[in-house]
């Protein structure tokens, strides 16, 4: 199987199952035009996140890693009445594009982008008692995933869902000796999840227009 085939199948299902989405198309164009790296979730993956948050009946969502707000908008669209989303982003330039996109999507009253290193912004979320979150999407710097898991456990409650993207990385996750800090961070994160009796998890490997990767889905059970 080739990347071309994966992309064609993604396009087939996206055309078939996703309704025309002019605002999100415009958001993707704005991210490209601003020169943001093409590392947002795909349209199909965005819909997957939207469905997860909807099934969860999420009222509060925390995202770590905003980029141009593409996944933020998918997630925020799943929020019910009175829902709220906080997204943390290190790069001011990315956050500025995301804020414009969130406004374009008409979600600026419920979705907020906060700038800074996530590890610097998470303590205030705890201090201000802005959680617990029904869903946390971890999609930023992978070396910090172990720290993000620790924070996610503080900011969730039994029944909450934690989604982590890019946990397969073209299969490189198997390399125990990897010198890649992303792999090292993810492997440590995986071990922490595996050892934590408060959660239950699985990983679904994905192929598609974003190549070969995967999501970890975790439910907080106690």
CB closer to ligand SAM, 135 vs 198: 135
**Choices 85-93, 148-156, 176-184, 198-206; region in contact with ligand SAM by CB under 6 A:** 85-93
In the list 8, 26, 91, 175, the residue contacting ligand SAM (rule: CB under 6 A) is 91
Task: Give the strand order in the sheet containing 60-64.
Answer: 111-115, 84-89, 60-64, 135-138, 161-165, 211-220, 199-208
In the list 39, 96, 104, 110, the residue contacting ligand SAM (rule: CB under 6 A) is 39
Interaction between residue 148 and ligand SAM (CB under 6 A) = no
CB closer to ligand SAM, 134 vs 176: 134
Q: CB of 191: closest distance to ligand SAM in angstroms?
A: 21
**Choices 124-132, 133-141, 151-159, 194-202; region in contact with ligand SAM by CB under 6 A:** 133-141
CB closer to ligand SAM, 204 vs 221: 204
Q: CB of 39: closest distance to ligand SAM in angstroms?
A: 4
**∠ Cα 102 107 112 (to 5°):** 70
Exposure string for 14-44, b = 16+ CB within 10 A, e = fewer: beeeeeebeebeebbebbeeeebeeebbbbb
The binding site for ligand SAM (CB under 6 A) comprises 39-41, 65-67, 70-71, 88-91, 94, 117-118, 139-141, 144
């Amino acid at each position: 199987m080739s990347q071309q085939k994966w992309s064609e199948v993604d396009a087939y299902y996206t055309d078939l199952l996703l309704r025309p989405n002019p605002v999100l198309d415009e958001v993707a164009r704005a991210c490209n035009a601003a020169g943001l790296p093409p590392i947002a979730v795909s349209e199909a993956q965005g819909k997957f996140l939207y469905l997860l948050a909807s099934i969860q009946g999420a009222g509060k969502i925390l995202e770590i890693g905003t980029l141009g707000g593409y996944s933020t908008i998918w997630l925020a669209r799943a929020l019910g009445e009175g829902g709220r989303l906080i997204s943390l982003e290190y790069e001011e330039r990315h956050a500025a594009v995301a804020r414009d996109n969130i406004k374009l999507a008409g979600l600026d009253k419920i979705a907020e982008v906060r700038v800074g290193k996530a590890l610097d912004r998470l303590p205030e979320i705890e201090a201000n008692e802005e959680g617990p979150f029904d869903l946390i999407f971890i999609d930023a710097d992978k070396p910090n995933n172990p720290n993000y898991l620790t924070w996610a456990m503080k900011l969730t409650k039994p029944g909450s869902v934690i989604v982590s993207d890019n946990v397969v990385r073209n299969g490189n996750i198997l390399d125990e000796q990897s010198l890649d800090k992303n792999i090292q961070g993810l492997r440590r994160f995986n071990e922490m999840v595996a050892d934590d009796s408060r959660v239950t998890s699985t990983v679904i490997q994905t192929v598609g227009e974003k190549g070969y990767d995967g999501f970890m889905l975790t439910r907080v059970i106690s």
